[in-house]
Amino acid sequence: MLALGRLLELTLAGHEPAAKIQLTPEGSRLRWLTEGALEVTPPAAVDSGLDLLLSAGIHGNETAPIELLDRLLQDIASSRIKPRSRILFLFGNPEAMRRGERYVEQDINRLFNGQHDLHSGPEAIRASDLEHVSASFFNDPQRTRLHYDMHTAIRGSRIEQFALYPYQQDRPRSEVELQRLRAAGIDAVLLYSKPSVTFTAYTYSQLGAESFTLELGKARPFGQNQMVNLDLLEEQLKALIEGRDTPPIERPELKLFAVAREVIKHSDDFILHLPVDIENFTELPQGYLLAEDIASMRWVVEEQDARIIFPNPKVRNGLRAGILIVPTSLG
């Protein structure tokens, strides 16, 4: 195997490789760009025209997708997979990965789309670097652009694997990409209706990629991810890398959700009336008192068939402490 196939090992050790460019016997080029970033270029004669950005470890302790990227890259570096697409492999937050923690100082996935200019520290610098390396990867407007940013959630979920689809005004949703997600084992997609500051919101709105944040199950330490089944996703990623179609697959229709409201924590008096271990996508009845805050502020569920995702009363004041979502359709 080519030494650059060990990008994860290099990244965890904080090592810069001696040889930054290596070629497989078939002529695919691996190029180390910066810490945790490696570009694969197939031979021009077999190039499918797809630019595929695969990122994981934006939250450093979310190991299952990090291990998935590691497997794919090792397969390429040992010619078990012969790429026909350009690929950018990115490990999002190397220092947090080394520490086995979600982040060092702050959540990097709130620092894109200009937010890194308003903050300092290692995550702000890294978010800026990730934007630059992504922008130079997606440099040819003639090519198809696709980005999967892979995560595992802090908490359990009634819907184990789901995707978040960013928002851009007047931009239609891609039915093809939604069907690809369904084939990849994704059960539900949350369609955002506002701009955001996540990595995929940046590549979607600024770089024109089809971009999805994938939540793939509950986070566990390295080597303990047997409960997170990524087989369908891995098969789809291999197909994308190899530039081939996959046979149609029998799976339930995707469930689509829209954001009804973001619950914002305004003060230290904020109380979220949910059990600490509540699962994502738990249904909440109409009339339910969801949260209370300073000055008798009350958050009551008014929406029908509402569900909660990403509840977190410990966020800083002014930030989102949960999202109320409701079923929707593409319409």
- As annotated, the active-site residues are 215
42-61 mask for Zn ion (x: CB under 5 A)?
Answer: -----------------x--
State in angstroms the smallest separation of the CB of 319 from Zn ion: 15
What is the biggest distance separating any 2 CA atoms in the chain, rounded to whole angstroms?
68
226-255 mask for Zn ion (x: CB under 5 A)?
Answer: ------------------------------
As beta bridge partners, residue 165 has 191
Q: Residue 121 is which amino acid?
A: G
The closest alpha carbon to 86, from 71, 94, 76, belongs to: 76
The residue range among 27-35, 145-153, 171-179, 203-211 that interacts with Zn ion, by the rule CB under 5 A, is 145-153
- Locus of tokens 């995550």: 123
**If binding is defined by CB under 5 A, does position 110 make contact with Zn ion?**
no
* 161 sits in which H/E element: none
The answer to whether 12 and 67 are in contact (CB under 8 A) is no
**If binding is defined by CB under 5 A, does position 151 make contact with Zn ion?**
yes
State in angstroms the smallest separation of the CB of 199 from Zn ion: 10
**Cα–Cα distance, 119 to 115 (Å, whole number):** 7
Nearer to Zn ion, 82 or 102 (CB): 102
State in angstroms the smallest separation of the CB of 63 from Zn ion: 11
State in angstroms the smallest separation of the CB of 6 from Zn ion: 24
- Which segments within 114-155 are labelled E, that is strand? 144-153
Nearer to Zn ion, 62 or 210 (CB): 62
Looking only at residues 58 through 77 of this chain, which bind Zn ion when binding is defined by CB under 5 A? 59, 62
State in angstroms the smallest separation of the CB of 190 from Zn ion: 14
Nearer to Zn ion, 164 or 301 (CB): 164
The closest alpha carbon to 70, from 22, 14, 147, 9, belongs to: 9
State in angstroms the smallest separation of the CB of 57 from Zn ion: 9
Nearer to Zn ion, 7 or 219 (CB): 219
Residue sitting closest to Zn ion (CB): 151
Helix axis angle for 231-242 and 175-183, nearest 10°, is: 130
Nearer to Zn ion, 42 or 217 (CB): 217
Q: Residue 268 is which amino acid?
A: D
Nearer to Zn ion, 7 or 96 (CB): 96
- Show the DSSP H helices in 18-89 as ranges: 63-77
Chain centre to alpha carbon of residue 180 = 16
The answer to whether 59 and 11 are in contact (CB under 8 A) is no
Q: Residue 285 is which amino acid?
A: P
**If binding is defined by CB under 5 A, does position 218 make contact with Zn ion?**
no
Number of residues that bind Zn ion (CB under 5 A): 3
Residue ranges that bind Zn ion, judged by CB under 5 A = 59, 62, 151
